[in-house]
Amino acid sequence: MYVRNNIANGNLKAKHWKHVKLGVCRPSLAEGRMPIPRAMAVKWNPPEHPWLKLNTDGAFSESTGRAGGRGIIRDHSGRLIAAFTAPLDAHSTLEAELLAMHHGLLLAREFAQPIWVESDAAQAISLAKGSGWGPAHSRRAMAHLALHRRYGDFRISFTLREGNKAADLLAKMGLEIEEQTRFNNQTTPRLLKAILRMQEMGIPNIRVCDEDLVVDSIPR
């Protein structure tokens, strides 16, 4: 464009081109495109009245063979009803996730209200929502969940880890303690109280991922 305009204006003449050769250099390979980080807001959403929402998380350590589960029960306003953390007799992360749901449901049944279970364990959610029994090591836990489903007032769904942050906070405690521990508004750890308060106010957590990363891993 610069050359063409200057020729048209008479600024570039034939003498200016003497011994000059023009060419175009084309790269043989296109430059690699770096992934663009994306940020998305993930909120914890309260259930509708009169449902209770149970958020659970399970963990298994291959190095120690220990497993733990935890869960938090809240009402339609986001108010804490109860929370727990407990060691589990599990032999895999999947089994720990399923048993954490079972222990959370046992606690939630005390309040005689319909229960909505939510977890960030996609495989466990898919298995719990389906009709199969899964691998052999998970069938004991699946049998417990099958009994819970007979109540009829039972719902289960997947959430991203950022939407399950309150349950994740109790992760290490479930592996370290020797017996089940139950919390209420007075005995809840301070950091957990802060997270619960933020979620009650509708403040989201931010999930950062690459542009090409599939974040919609919700089980169908």
105-162 pLDDT, tens digit per residue, is: 999 999 999 999 999 999 999 999 888 888 888 999 999 999 888 877 889 999 999 8
Q: What is the DSSP letter of 120?
A: S
The mean predicted confidence, pLDDT, of the chain is 83
Tell the CATH topology of 41-210: Nucleotidyltransferase; domain 5 (3.30.420)
The model scores a pTM over 0.85:
no
Percentage, residues of the chain above pLDDT 70: 75
Establish how many alpha carbons lie within 13 A of residue 36's alpha carbon, considering only the half-sphere containing its beta carbon.
Answer: 2
- Backbone CA torsion sign across 130, 136, 138, 139: positive
Give the range with max mean pLDDT: 27-36, 50-59, 209-218: 50-59
Confidence of residue 28 (pLDDT cuts 50, 70, 90): low
Closest CA to 115 of 71, 173, 170: 71
Confidence of residue 212 (pLDDT cuts 50, 70, 90): very low
Least confident of 64-73, 167-176, 184-193: 167-176
Question: Cα(213)–Cα(209) distance, rounded to whole angstroms?
Answer: 6
Confidence of residue 17 (pLDDT cuts 50, 70, 90): low
Q: How many helices (H) and strands (E) does the chain have?
A: 7, 8
Q: What pLDDT, on a 0 to 100 scale, did the predictor assign at position 208?
A: 82
Q: Taking a C-beta distance cutoff of 8 angstroms, is the pair 52, 75 a contact?
A: yes
Asked if residue 25 has pLDDT above 70, the reply is no
Give the mean pLDDT of 85-108.
Answer: 93
Q: Taking a C-beta distance cutoff of 8 angstroms, is the pair 98, 141 a contact?
A: yes
